[in-house]
């Protein structure tokens, strides 16, 4: 199958996928309970455009600057009690087993504002090859406005999830898709020029300090006596930007049983310090 046809098939496949985080009640011997879980999404870029890998549901496919990738996320209650639910996000860029960018929605809006983290507008300089102090370069296209952002870095669903099988047993979409920013820095290019005095051009990887035995690096005009010369453009290793890198987005959900007692625990220090102003009102 050629790449164009394969890409079209994968795009149609991606567009039809909804990722559902399912939650199940864990019995009735406790007055209330708390659960949490996470879903990882991994992508990869490569030099001059990038190759994406969305693990678990699609094979390799190019992820170009500005391209939207469908990623639908919601929470479904498969248990028999009402639930409170919240979600946070963590993202990471890795190259050669080195985490060079790690950002979290819970870092707080003073360090990485919600606008920059969600809108993917955190690229400081798109041409210097550096990622130092960048914010997020990946736009998260959020779904329903029933997910309410809090300064603790979580999104709270503004209604309780009803028991399974009842209307309201699943949330509206939290996330619809992600987009790699059009101005994402894909590395600083440098031009390397070589010449040789050999009668036939040597192999490209035959680099030498002596032009009589291989390709010799030079700057400026082509040296006298050169029989062949060539120039190549490549990314400076120390200024690689986001090229040839792996991107991971982790979506973590937490739930509490929707009772007054569970709500009190959720907003306490011991229970996780939920934002009391963003959780749904519970009448008992």
Same domain, 206 and 115: no
Q: How much is the pLDDT for 55? A: 26
- On whether residue 278 sits in a domain, the answer given is no
H helix count then E strand count, the chain: 3, 15
Instruction: Specify whether the CB–CB gap between 109 and 151 falls below 8 A.
Output: yes
Using a 10 angstrom Cβ sphere, with 0-12 exposed, 13-18 middle and 19 or more buried, the burial of residue 205 is exposed
User: What string of DSSP letters covers 52-118?
Assistant: E--TTT---EE--TT-EEEEEEEEEE-SSS-EEEEEEEEEEEEETTEEEEEEEGGG-TTTS-HHHHH
Q: List, run by run, the mean pLDDT of 10-residue segments along the chain (284 residues).
A: 46 42 38 53 44 28 78 84 90 89 79 71 92 92 92 91 90 90 91 92 94 94 93 87 87 87 84 87 76
| Same domain as 144, residue 21 | yes
Per the structure, the count of domains in the chain is 2
Same domain, 261 and 224: no
- What is the residue range of 200's domain? 189-235
The torsion angles phi and psi of 5, rounded to 5 degrees, stand at -65, -40
Q: Is 273 inside any structural domain?
A: no
Do the domain assignments include residue 274?
A: no
> Phi and psi of 169, rounded to 5°?
-85, 0
Identify the bridge partners of residue 161 per DSSP, sorted by sequence position.
Answer: 83
The rounded distance, in Å, linking the Cα atoms of 59 and 41 is: 13
pLDDT of residue 252: 86
CA 110 to each of CA 115, 116, 117, 141, 273: distance values in angstroms, whole numbers, following the listed order: 11, 11, 12, 22, 19
- CB-CB contact of 212 with 197 (8 Å): yes
Question: In this predicted structure, what is the pLDDT of residue 232?
Answer: 87
Q: What is the DSSP letter of 33?
A: -
In a domain, 127, yes or no: yes
Task: Report if pTM > 0.85.
Answer: no
pLDDT of 268 reads: 87
């Amino acid at each position: 199958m050629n790449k164009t046809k394969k890409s079209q098939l994968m795009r149609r496949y991606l567009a039809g996928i909804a990722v559902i985080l399912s939650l199940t009640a864990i019995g009735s011997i406790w007055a209330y309970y708390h659960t949490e879980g996470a879903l990882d999404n991994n992508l990869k870029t490569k030099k001059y455009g990038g190759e994406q890998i969305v693990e678990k549901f699609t094979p390799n496919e190019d992820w170009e600057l500005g391209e939207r990738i469908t990623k639908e996320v919601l929470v479904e209650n498969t248990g028999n009690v009402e639930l409170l639910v919240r979600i946070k996000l963590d993202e990471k860029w890795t190259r050669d087993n080195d985490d060079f960018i790690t950002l979290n929605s819970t870092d707080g809006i003073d360090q990485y504002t919600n606008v920059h983290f969600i809108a993917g507008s955190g690229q400081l300089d798109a041409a210097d090859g550096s990622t130092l102090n960048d914010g997020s370069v990946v736009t998260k296209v959020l779904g329903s406005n029933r997910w309410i952002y809090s300064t603790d870095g979580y999104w709270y669903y503004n209604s309780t999830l009803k028991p399974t099988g009842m209307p309201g047993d699943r949330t509206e979409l939290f996330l619809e898709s992600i987009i790699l920013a059009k101005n994402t820095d894909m590395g600083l290019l440098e031009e390397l020029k070589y010449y040789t005095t050999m009668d036939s051009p040597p192999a490209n990887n035959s680099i030498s300090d002596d032009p009589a035995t291989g390709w010799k690096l030079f700057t400026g005009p082509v040296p006298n006596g050169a029989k062949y010369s060539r120039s190549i453009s490549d990314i400076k290793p120390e200024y690689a930007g986001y090229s040839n890198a792996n991107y991971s987005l982790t979506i973590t959900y937490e739930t509490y049983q929707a009772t007054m007692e569970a709500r009190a625990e959720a907003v306490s220090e011991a229970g996780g310090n939920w934002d009391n102003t963003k959780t749904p009102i519970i009448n008992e």
